[in-house]
Chain A
Amino acid sequence: MDMNEIKEIFFQECEEQLAELESGLLALNDGDTDIETVNAVFRAVHSIKGGAGAFGLDDLVGFAHVFETTLDCVRSQTLEPTQDVLKVMLRSADVLADLTAAAREGGSVEAERTAVLAKELEALAKGEALPAAPVAAAPAAAAPPPVVASAEPVSEPTDESGFQPVPFSFDDFSDEEGDVSAPVETTGSESYSNKFTVRFKPRSDLYANGNETVLLLRDLAKLGEMRVRCETDGLPAIDKLDPEGAYLAWLIEISTNSAEDEIRSVFEFAEWDCQLEVTAGEPGVEMPETAAVEEPEDAPMAVVPFDLSLLDDEPAAAEAAAPAETDIAQVTAASGEPADAGQPAPELPAATAAIAANAEKQKAAAVAAVPAAPQTIRVDLDRVDRLINLVGELVINQAMLAQSVVENETGGASAINLGLDELQQLTREIQDSVMAIRAQPVKPVFQRMSRIVREIADMTGKTVRLVTEGENTEVDKTVIDKLAEPLTHMIRNAVDHGLETPEKREAIGKSREGVLRLSAKHRSGRIVIEIADDGAGINRERVRQKAIDNGLITAEQNLPDEEIDNLIFHPGFSTAEKLSDISGRGVGMDVVKRSIQSLGGRINITSTPGKGSIFTMSLPLTLAVLDGMVVTVAGQTLVVPLTAIVETLQPEKQDIHSFGSNQRLIAIRDTFCPLVDVGHILRFRPHYADPVEGVALLVESEGGGQRALMVDAIQGQRQVVIKSLEANYTSVPGIAAATILGDGRVALILDVDSVVAASRGQSMRGEMSLAAAG
């Protein structure tokens, strides 16, 4: 793995964190007061900051830091997450998302926008004059990471290198590989500009935290030339000696070029657990000439032998010292460490025990508080798709097998038939399960919409509340990926054109805040997404007038309300008096409709004047399989997507009307609908077939109009596995994709819109509008 891959992981993770952030903030906005929600929000920003720092993404780090600081105030309950506060935070989340995107794709975010929000966040953090606020200022100092730490080698029997405390000399204070020559002797003291006296007396906590005197001294030795004197005055008689106690103090004289800060930073992490005095100048007491410690003649008898050789910096002398076992004991005693870890551990000091008890409680609480999260694994999408493809083949094979068994008529309830039934059931189950792997909740897309709503609300000066329902409704990933765009258009449209301004709403007795309801649910094997606003509803008079002006309908035509409403899906239709930059010129509801249809979906609008509009779209749960009507046209087998078919009918002779050279209409109830001969359009046959001998499939096409597709016969309805034609052959006008039927024949899946367009005299679109999964 290289850094670029890790960076990609980082950005993926950012996406997840941003989603987490937004959903958390929205939950808080909805009155969620769970501290875990706040924590999760905080962690999301914190995590982004951490990763961004690792890649030197300074803009991102800077903003995340300010954001995090403010969130920390919420976390420490010094800042109440009111609606106003959350509004700022939601916008900050947007900026954070933009900064992330900018970092990922290159590009930049308006510095001003970032700066303004950063100011607002800072104001929030400071606004309450919190004691916790200084947290904000602290990290700016960016001190070099002061790591002063050490292990207790004795407790790590597996660590070979950690178990070599003998001989104990300053040479050992240097790193293994490195500067053996660095300490003490090598540099003349005249080259040092500063001289400090350090008095260091560890408390036993120091050792409890895995620190060790010898390693602190080793670090210190790196800063210059030093002499050390061990003060043993505090040592009790051996019978009073607590093996976990800390009795020794160290007086160090150091000549160095480092400043006092650097001296202190060596002890930074130990400073809570020791007494530390750093003073300029020489110590008032006599120091040993080398690092060796004076003979502690006055020390308590029992401990005297321990101290002497330990800090002897003459390696030769040290090596000549006592056998290893003794030396281990010496080091142990000298550094005040707990005794041999192999022994049963002595009782913990009260404080440690309390912490331990706390930790246990906290852990238990933490574990209890978390409902067992479902275990997940990350799988490459390609692998899933491969599996789906294979299952598709399996389904086809199973169907073929079933058909050949039927054709061979092995007779009634034979074992083969029973086995085949079971196989069919299993195959279907496998197929459903595999499809479910790709299924994902619509939540991320819905979350993106809340941002869209915020942006447009800001641009238009409207106050909008987005309510989402059914965010956990699952649908195939490919559908999700293609959902965002039409949804964005519809949401924009709803806020821009649907909702009234706050003033107008107030004037007509509505609340100032408009409500946009975005919901998802499963209905009969499809996902149904609704966008409902409580705005003005469609102005039918205006729509009608515009349709007349544009020549879509005639002034005489008397259309039912519903049809007028659906006129807005006509290409190029826009009723807004001035085109705002939000809805944009040329991108109308027709585009939305087309993109939804290309997913095998339908869209519909119902509107109540003064009460609002509801856009309803229904989409297939997957793009890998399709419910189709299998039909015969000029000897060919075709599949027509069931979603496109409104109804099927058997034309009677008196229903067929011709006009012009080759235009024919079919009367359906009280309207006329153009007939489209599929066989002729696709050039399966040169002449028109007699409609009376065929079947008409009434379809709803792109333009909103209906057409009757003439086919020769209907074979039946079937779920088919979609195979890409482009991937396996080449793009064919009028054909969306292909499939393999039970009898092994390839059947083409009709691209209804393209065929209808061709019937209007337009050329068939070359592009395939049905996404193919195979």
Chain B
Amino acid sequence: MMKKKVLTVDDSRTIRNMLLVTLNNAGFETVQAEDGVEGLEVLEESDPDVIVTDINMPRLDGFGFIEGVRRNDRYRAIPILVLTTESDPEKKNRAREAGATGWIVKPFDPTKLIAAIERVTA
């Protein structure tokens, strides 16, 4: 089976690296972006199977990024998991309105993250 490709969008180097290690160990291919703007660029180049994004990022935040992804016909239905420390219902709702598929609260449990990704890409 082809490796599934995960696009991770997070301005924190720490989190990006953790995701990289976690996802690679779980047999995923990983592409990274530092913020929403880069995320949208990388999206086009890398054609991922699933996106894991942060909310608070410079330039273009997670909400804007998700909206941008959904606006692209090709990615209207790609699963987008929000990985954030926020658990504010209002923020969740905004992410939801923007088109997010799921919401994972940091600190993420690698097992749960993998499970979530596998679930949405099954």
Q: In the complex the two chains form, what is the Cα distance from A53 to B37 in whole Å?
A: 26
Set of chain B residues within 8 Å of A146, measured between Cβ atoms: 103
Q: Which of A5, A50, A144, A161 has the most CB of B within 10 A?
A: A50
State whether A161 touches B67 (Cβ < 8 A).
Answer: no
A344 nearest CB neighbor, chain B only: B73
Decide if A219 is an interface residue (CB 8 Å cutoff): yes
Q: In the complex the two chains form, what is the Cα distance from A370 to B57 in whole Å?
A: 13
Q: Which of A569-611 contact B (CB under 8 A)?
A: none
Q: In the complex the two chains form, what is the Cα distance from A742 to B30 in whole Å?
A: 53
State whether A151 touches B12 (Cβ < 8 A).
Answer: no
Q: In the complex the two chains form, what is the Cα distance from A273 to B95 in whole Å?
A: 12
Please judge, given known A-B contacts A355-B97, A366-B59, whether A269 and B103 are in contact too, CB under 8 Å.
Answer: yes
Q: In the complex the two chains form, what is the Cα distance from A1 to B30 in whole Å?
A: 14
State whether B37 touches A366 (Cβ < 8 A).
Answer: yes
Q: In the complex the two chains form, what is the Cα distance from A469 to B74 in whole Å?
A: 51
State whether A1 touches B20 (Cβ < 8 A).
Answer: yes
Please judge, given known A-B contacts A40-B58, A149-B81, A155-B77, whether A47 and B12 are in contact too, CB under 8 Å.
Answer: yes
Please judge, given known A-B contacts A54-B15, A355-B67, whether A145 and B122 are in contact too, CB under 8 Å.
Answer: no
Set of chain A residues within 8 Å of B80, measured between Cβ atoms: 209-210
Distance of B77 from chain A, by nearest CB (Å):
4
Please judge, given known A-B contacts A13-B13, A54-B15, A359-B67, whether A209 and B85 are in contact too, CB under 8 Å.
Answer: no
Decide if B7 is an interface residue (CB 8 Å cutoff): no
Decide if B45 is an interface residue (CB 8 Å cutoff): no
Q: Which of B67-114 contact A (CB under 8 A)?
A: 67-68, 70-71, 73, 76-81, 84-90, 92-93, 96-109, 112
State whether B87 touches A143 (Cβ < 8 A).
Answer: yes
Q: In the complex the two chains form, what is the Cα distance from A49 to B87 in whole Å?
A: 13
Binds B, one of A133-141, A429-437, A664-672, A680-688: A133-141
Distance of B26 from chain A, by nearest CB (Å):
12
Decide if A115 is an interface residue (CB 8 Å cutoff): no
A65 nearest CB neighbor, chain B only: B85
B97 nearest CB neighbor, chain A only: A355
A72 nearest CB neighbor, chain B only: B88
Decide if A428 is an interface residue (CB 8 Å cutoff): no
State whether B101 touches A149 (Cβ < 8 A).
Answer: yes
A6 nearest CB neighbor, chain B only: B17
Q: In the complex the two chains form, what is the Cα distance from A156 to B116 in whole Å?
A: 17
Please judge, given known A-B contacts A141-B87, A158-B2, A355-B67, whether A338 and B77 are in contact too, CB under 8 Å.
Answer: yes
Set of chain B residues within 8 Å of A9, measured between Cβ atoms: 13-14, 17
State whether A158 touches B64 (Cβ < 8 A).
Answer: no
Decide if A175 is an interface residue (CB 8 Å cutoff): yes
State whether A151 touches B64 (Cβ < 8 A).
Answer: no
Q: In the complex the two chains form, what is the Cα distance from A219 to B119 in whole Å?
A: 9
Q: Which of A53, A147, A155 has the most CB of B within 10 A?
A: A147
Distance of A342 from chain B, by nearest CB (Å):
11
Please judge, given known A-B contacts A150-B120, A363-B60, whether A269 and B102 are in contact too, CB under 8 Å.
Answer: yes
Distance of A528 from chain B, by nearest CB (Å):
34
Q: In the complex the two chains form, what is the Cα distance from A362 to B116 in whole Å?
A: 29
Set of chain A residues within 8 Å of B103, measured between Cβ atoms: 145-147, 268-269
Set of chain A residues within 8 Å of B18, measured between Cβ atoms: 6, 54
Please judge, given known A-B contacts A158-B49, A159-B4, A269-B102, whether A370 and B59 are in contact too, CB under 8 Å.
Answer: yes
Distance of A509 from chain B, by nearest CB (Å):
47
State whether B119 touches A356 (Cβ < 8 A).
Answer: no
State whether B12 touches A209 (Cβ < 8 A).
Answer: no
Please judge, given known A-B contacts A1-B21, A47-B11, A147-B81, whether A363 and B68 are in contact too, CB under 8 Å.
Answer: yes
A362 nearest CB neighbor, chain B only: B64
Decide if A388 is an interface residue (CB 8 Å cutoff): no
Q: In the complex the two chains form, what is the Cα distance from A2 to B106 in whole Å?
A: 19
State whether A210 touches B86 (Cβ < 8 A).
Answer: no
Q: In the complex the two chains form, what is the Cα distance from A50 to B105 in whole Å?
A: 10
Q: B101's contact among A39, A161, A211, by CB below 8 Å, is which?
A: A211
Distance of B9 from chain A, by nearest CB (Å):
13
State whether B122 touches A215 (Cβ < 8 A).
Answer: yes
A208 nearest CB neighbor, chain B only: B99
Distance of A492 from chain B, by nearest CB (Å):
34
Set of chain A residues within 8 Å of B119, measured between Cβ atoms: 147, 149-150, 175, 215, 218-219
State whether B78 touches A363 (Cβ < 8 A).
Answer: no
State whether B96 touches A209 (Cβ < 8 A).
Answer: yes
State whether B108 touches A54 (Cβ < 8 A).
Answer: yes
Q: In the complex the two chains form, what is the Cα distance from A268 to B58 in whole Å?
A: 28
Decide if A345 is an interface residue (CB 8 Å cutoff): yes
State whether B101 touches A10 (Cβ < 8 A).
Answer: no
State whether B104 touches A150 (Cβ < 8 A).
Answer: no
State whether A54 touches B118 (Cβ < 8 A).
Answer: no
Set of chain A residues within 8 Å of B102, measured between Cβ atoms: 147-149, 211, 269
Q: In the complex the two chains form, what is the Cα distance from A143 to B73 in whole Å?
A: 34
State whether A135 touches B88 (Cβ < 8 A).
Answer: yes
State whether B14 touches A145 (Cβ < 8 A).
Answer: no
Please judge, given known A-B contacts A160-B2, A345-B73, whether A209 and B87 are in contact too, CB under 8 Å.
Answer: no
Set of chain A residues within 8 Å of B73, measured between Cβ atoms: 345
B57 nearest CB neighbor, chain A only: A43
Decide if A192 is an interface residue (CB 8 Å cutoff): no
State whether A355 touches B98 (Cβ < 8 A).
Answer: yes
C-beta contact mask, A151-172 vs B, less than 8 Å → 1, else 0?
Answer: 1111110111110000000000
Q: A272's contact among B85, B86, B93, by CB below 8 Å, is which?
A: B93
Distance of A175 from chain B, by nearest CB (Å):
7
Q: A42's contact among B20, B56, B90, by CB below 8 Å, is which?
A: B56
Q: In the complex the two chains form, what is the Cα distance from A341 to B73 in whole Å?
A: 9
State whether B76 touches A208 (Cβ < 8 A).
Answer: yes
Distance of A362 from chain B, by nearest CB (Å):
5
C-beta contact mask, A367-381 vs B, less than 8 Å → 1, else 0?
Answer: 100100000000000
B73 nearest CB neighbor, chain A only: A345
What are the 6 A-B residue pairs with the smallest beta carbon separation, nearest first?
A359-B67, A149-B102, A53-B107, A152-B77, A210-B101, A147-B116
A-B contact pairs, 27 of them (CB 8 A): A6-B21, A9-B13, A10-B14, A54-B18, A139-B105, A148-B102, A150-B122, A154-B77, A156-B49, A158-B2, A161-B121, A175-B119, A176-B118, A210-B80, A210-B101, A210-B120, A269-B102, A338-B76, A341-B77, A352-B70, A359-B64, A359-B67, A359-B68, A363-B37, A363-B60, A366-B60, A367-B59
Beyond known contacts A175-B122, A362-B67: 15 more, CB 8 A cutoff: A3-B21, A9-B13, A13-B12, A50-B106, A143-B105, A147-B81, A148-B102, A161-B122, A175-B119, A176-B122, A208-B70, A272-B93, A345-B76, A363-B64, A370-B58
A interface residues (Cβ-Cβ under 8 A, vs B): 1-3, 5-6, 9-10, 12-13, 39-40, 42-43, 46-47, 49-51, 53-56, 135, 138-139, 141-156, 158-162, 175-176, 207-211, 215, 218-219, 268-269, 272-273, 337-338, 341, 345, 352, 355-356, 358-360, 362-363, 366-367, 370
B interface residues (Cβ-Cβ under 8 A, vs A): 1-2, 4, 11-15, 17-18, 20-21, 36-37, 40, 47, 49-50, 54, 56-60, 64, 67-68, 70-71, 73, 76-81, 84-90, 92-93, 96-109, 112, 115-116, 118-122
